[in-house]
């Protein structure tokens, strides 16, 4: 029994046409939703949300696609790329804001209102992302084995239910416990969690189309039979 079911023999260092592109899209969505999204608060039906909630779930969609088509190990590499990008963006934001502004320049306040954040929120965001994404990928890879590759919707939605639950359970308490009231933390956490899962469910038809296209053109449908599921590795073979 092999790790994957390719449609043609796989070389030791196989090149995929769209893998790097999906990695770039994943990191882009992740950075924009974490850096730009929190700067805007919007209200819907009496509930307030960070605007990033509209786009952050796309990262879970990409995580599902990567694991489903290319396998856990290659998805793991993308998660680490996102982690590195988030860490560097946070460091760069801190350094840029800490630099003394030139005399007569009046944009410092606007810049701080968009990009300034506390170390606590940065820690919450990076930790929640790292653990949530790896949980999502692990659950999907295992469910693919259990379902023998059938019923894609059960693992895309099921893995998101687990991954976003862990993400939300880490981020909101770490970032806001003691700053907001307990009721506010719980209310916002549950509301955002429900939206993320709903977003994934609504996107299921698009996920099917993208996964089907990639499996066909990449000639790959990876099954993680012998995969080492440690997150602390960048090996893809």
Overall average pLDDT of the 21-41 stretch: 84
Topology of domain 19-98+116-218 in CATH is Arp2/3 complex 21 kDa subunit ARPC3 (1.10.1760)
Task: Check whether 62 has a pLDDT greater than 70.
Answer: yes
- Place 11 in a pLDDT band, splitting at 50, 70 and 90: very low
**Collapsed DSSP state (helix, strand, coil) of residue 50:** strand
What are the φ and ψ backbone dihedral angles of 63, each rounded to 5 degrees?
-60, -40
Distance CA 176, CA 182 (A): 9
Task: Check whether 41 has a pLDDT greater than 70.
Answer: no
Q: Which of 42-46, 118-122, 200-204 has the highest mean pLDDT?
A: 200-204
Task: Report the chain's mean pLDDT, rounded to a whole number.
Answer: 89
2 or 234: whose pLDDT is higher? Answer: 234
- DSSP designation for 42: E
pLDDT of residue 40: 64
Q: Where are the domains of the chain?
A: 19-98+116-218
Overall average pLDDT of the 138-162 stretch: 97
pLDDT of residue 219: 96
Tokens of 147: 């379902």
Overall average pLDDT of the 23-28 stretch: 96
Task: Check whether 10 has a pLDDT greater than 80.
Answer: no
């Amino acid at each position: 029994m092999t790790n994957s079911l390719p449609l043609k023999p796989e070389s030791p260092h196989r090149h995929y046409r769209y893998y790097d592109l999906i990695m770039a899209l994943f990191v882009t969505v992740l950075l924009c939703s974490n850096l730009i999204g929190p700067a805007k608060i919007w209200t819907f039906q009496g509930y307030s949300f960070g605007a990033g909630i509209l786009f952050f779930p796309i990262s879970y969609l990409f995580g599902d696609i990567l694991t489903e088509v290319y396998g856990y190990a290659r998805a793991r590499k993308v998660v680490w790329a996102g982690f590195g990008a988030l860490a560097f963006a946070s460091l760069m934001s801190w350094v840029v804001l800490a630099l003394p502004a030139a005399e007569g320049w009046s944009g410092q306040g606007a810049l701080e209102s968009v990009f300034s954040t506390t170390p606590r929120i940065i820690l919450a965001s990076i930790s929640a992302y790292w653990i949530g994404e790896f949980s999502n990928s692990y659950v999907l890879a295992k469910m693919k084995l259990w379902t023998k590759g059938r019923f894609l919707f059960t693992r895309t939605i099921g893995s998101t239910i687990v991954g976003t639950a862990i993400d939300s359970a880490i981020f909101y308490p770490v970032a806001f416990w003691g700053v907001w009231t307990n009721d506010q933390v719980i209310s916002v956490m549950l509301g955002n969690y429900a939206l993320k899962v709903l977003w994934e469910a609504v996107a299921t038809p698009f996920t099917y189309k993208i996964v089907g296209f990639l499996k066909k053109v990449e000639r790959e449908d990876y099954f993680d039979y012998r995969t080492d599921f440690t997150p602390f590795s960048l090996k893809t073979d």
